[in-house]
Amino acid sequence: MMEIEKEKAELIEMFGVFFENTHHLPPLASRILGNLILDGCKTGLTFEDLVERMAASKSTVSTSLNLLLKSEKITYYTLSGDRKKYYKPSPFSNRLQTYLKMIALEKTIIEKMLGYREKTASCFEERCNLENMQEYKKHILTVESLLENTIQRFKEIEHNNNQNQI
């Protein structure tokens, strides 16, 4: 195996393990996403390309693609006169929106917890917990702000890149 192909295989495996562990994706879906990130950013990969690369059945590849589409980790496009779908990883700005949704839910929980703890803190440990929650809220707000700025920057980059393609 050529050195670059070995490096590519290692990267796909690293992506696979990462997506399995952090996004709780099945192994095949994780490796499909890794393939799309490495090789799908230019023109995308077709269903047939992925079946061949993954050495998996059409039904399991199809199931994995549907999961990745539903979770908005990938997207596809078609060409006029061509019945094939070309799969690509979703733009970074879209993928990071998932984290914003998680933060929004966490903020809601933190607010409710703070309200509850402010009314019920009756001992040292609960007051300590309240103080920790207040500090954690500041952290979450900082992370949210950083993430919003990063998403905005990615949107600008994606917009500029789309303009340059025209």
Count how many domains the chain has. 2
Taking only the tens place, the pLDDT of each residue in 120-154 is: 999 999 999 999 999 999 999 999 999 999 999 99
Average pLDDT over residues 62-70: 97
Do 98 and 126 fall into the same domain? yes
86-31-37 Cα angle (round to 5): 50
Do 99 and 71 fall into the same domain? no
Separation of alpha carbons 59 and 66, rounded Å: 10
Average pLDDT over residues 1-12: 90
Instruction: Find the domain containing 27 and state its range.
Output: 3-89
Confidence tier at 166 by pLDDT (50, 70, 90): low
Say which residue the tokens 């949210």 belong to: 144
Residue 1 is predicted with a pLDDT of 62
Taking only the tens place, the pLDDT of each residue in 80-117 is: 999 999 999 999 899 899 889 999 999 999 999 999 99
Average pLDDT over residues 71-77: 94
CATH of the domain at 60: 1.10.10.10
Q: What is the DSSP letter of 91?
A: P
- Residue that is last in its domain, among 66, 89, 112: 89
Burial pattern 114-145, b for ≥16 Cβ within 10 A else e, equals: eeebeeeeeeeeeeeebeebeeebeebeeebe
- Residue that is last in its domain, among 89, 123, 157: 89
User: Do the Cβ atoms of 75 and 113 come closer than 8 Å?
Assistant: no
Whole-Å CA distances, 67 to 2, 21, 58, 133, 155: 32, 16, 14, 35, 24
Taking only the tens place, the pLDDT of each residue in 11-63 is: 999 999 999 999 999 999 999 999 999 998 888 999 999 999 999 999 999 99
Do 84 and 135 fall into the same domain? no
- Residue that is last in its domain, among 89, 108, 128: 89
Do 127 and 84 fall into the same domain? no
Do 72 and 121 fall into the same domain? no
Do 70 and 104 fall into the same domain? no
Residue 98 is predicted with a pLDDT of 87
Do 85 and 112 fall into the same domain? no
Do 110 and 85 fall into the same domain? no
Contacts 24+ apart (CB under 8 A), 156-164: 158/91, 158/92, 158/93
DSSP helix/strand/coil, 161: helix
Orientation angle between helical segments 27-39 and 3-23, nearest 10 degrees? 130
Whole-Å CA distances, 37 to 16, 53, 65, 99, 162: 11, 14, 14, 19, 18
Taking only Cα atoms into account, the Rg of the chain, rounded to an integer number of angstroms, comes to 21
